[in-house]
Amino acid sequence: MPYLHHVQTSIVQTIKRTTMQRRNFILNAALSLGALSLEDQRLFAAGPAGRRRAGQAEDPWKMRPLRRDVGIFTEKGGTIAWLVSKKGIVVVDAEFPEQAGHLIGELKKQSDQPFELLINTHHHGDHTAGNIAFKGLVKDVAAHGNSLANQQRVAVAQKTEDKQLYPNITYTDGWNYRIGHEHIRAYYFGPGHTNGDSIIHFQHANVAHMGDLMFNRRWAFIDRSAGASISNWIVALDKAIHTFDSGTLFVFGHAFDPEKVTGGKEDLKAMQNYLTQLQAFANQAFHAGRSKEDFVKEKAIPGVTEWQGDGIERGLQAAYEEVAASQVP
C-alpha cells in the first residue's frame, strides 16, 4: 500500500507539472504576439504569402498634395504639378512616357473628370517626353512659342518626331486659362534656362511652377543651344520675386535634395545669387585671359556655398561662352 500511494502521488505531481508548463507556454506565446506590431500580427496570421507581399518595393513615384486641389508628382525628371478640379484635370510637365503613365493612373484614382490641359514649362525631354502618354487623352497642350520650336528642332535632329505630342496652343508674353474655381496664368520673362521658359501660376491655390528656372541647391543646366541667358535669367528671377506675393509656394524643376522641390522666395533669391556669382566669376576669368578649357576645371564658385551635385563644369562653360559672346562687336 505505501508503494501504491507513492506511485499515485508521483502521477498527480507529473500531471500538475505538465499542466503548469502548458500554461506558461501559452502565456509566453500570447505575450510574444502582443509585443508584435499590428502589421506584424497581420503578416504572422497571413503566413509566408503575406510576408512576401510586405517585402515588395514601394512605388518609385510620389504624389504630394500641396494646396486647394493642386499637388506635385515626382519620379524621374522634372517635377510635375497637377490640379484635380470638379471641371477637369490640368497637368504641368510630363517627365518621361513611363512616368507620365504612372501619374495618369494616380490621377484617375482621384477623379473621373477628363484631362483638360497639359502645359509644358519648356521643351527639354525630362519635361516633355511624357507628353505622348497623354495623346488621345488630353484636350489641349500649351507652351511658349519658343518651347514648341525647340521641341520640334530637337525631335527632328534626334529623329523622334513620332514620339512627340506637340503643343497646339502657344503664347508669347503670357497666357490665361480658367477651369472651375482655379485661374491659371503663364508668365514669360524672357530667356533664362532656355529661351522658352514659362512660370505657371495657379492663382487660387497660389502655387507657382518655376520649371527649370529653379534648380534648388543643385548645379544648373544652362542650355545655350536653346537660347539660354544667364544675364536675363537673373532678371527673370527678380521679376518672379516681385510678381508673386510672400505666400506663394514655388515648385522647382529640380533640387539636389529630392524632398526639397518646393519652397519660397528665399530660395529664388539664393538661385539668383548663385547665377550672379557664376556670371561674375566667368567675367573675371575671361578678362584675366584664362582659357575656357582652364576655367571649366574649377571645382567651386566664389560666394556660392550651398550648390552641389554633378555638372558644375557645364555651368562654368556656359557662363564663359556667354561672356565671350558679349565681347563680340
Distances 300 to 62, 282, 290, 304, 305 between C-alpha atoms, Å: 32, 12, 16, 8, 8
Position 18 scores a pLDDT of: 43
Structural contact between residues 63 and 91, judged by C-beta atoms closer than 8 angstroms: no
From first to last of its 329 residues, the chain has per-residue pLDDT tens of 443 344 344 433 444 444 444 444 433 433 333 333 333 333 333 333 333 344 556 889 999 999 999 999 999 999 999 999 999 999 999 999 999 999 999 999 999 999 999 999 999 999 999 999 999 999 999 999 999 999 999 999 999 999 999 999 999 999 999 999 999 999 999 999 999 999 999 999 999 999 999 999 999 999 999 999 999 999 999 999 999 999 999 999 999 999 999 999 999 999 999 999 999 999 999 999 999 999 999 999 999 999 999 999 999 999 999 999 998 77
Can you tell me the distance from the alpha carbon of 131 to that of 129, in angstroms, rounded to the nearest whole number? Answer: 5
Position 59 scores a pLDDT of: 87
Structural contact between residues 153 and 124, judged by C-beta atoms closer than 8 angstroms: no
Position 58 scores a pLDDT of: 82
Position 57 scores a pLDDT of: 66
Can you tell me the distance from the alpha carbon of 183 to that of 219, in angstroms, rounded to the nearest whole number? Answer: 33
Task: Dig out the grid coordinates for 9 from the structure.
Answer: 502521488
The letter for the amino acid at 314 is: R
pTM, whole model, 2 decimals?
A: 0.82
Query: What fold, for 62-326?
Result: Metallo-beta-lactamase; Chain A (3.60.15)
Cα(first)–Cα(last) distance of the chain, in Å? Answer: 128
- The helix (H) or strand (E) run that includes residue 86 is none
Q: Where are the domains of the chain?
A: 2-54, 62-326
Of 287, 276, 270, 289, the residue nearest 315 (C-alpha): 276
Q: How far is CA 139 from the centre of its chain?
A: 24
Residue 137 exposure: Cα atoms within 13 Å on the Cβ side: 21
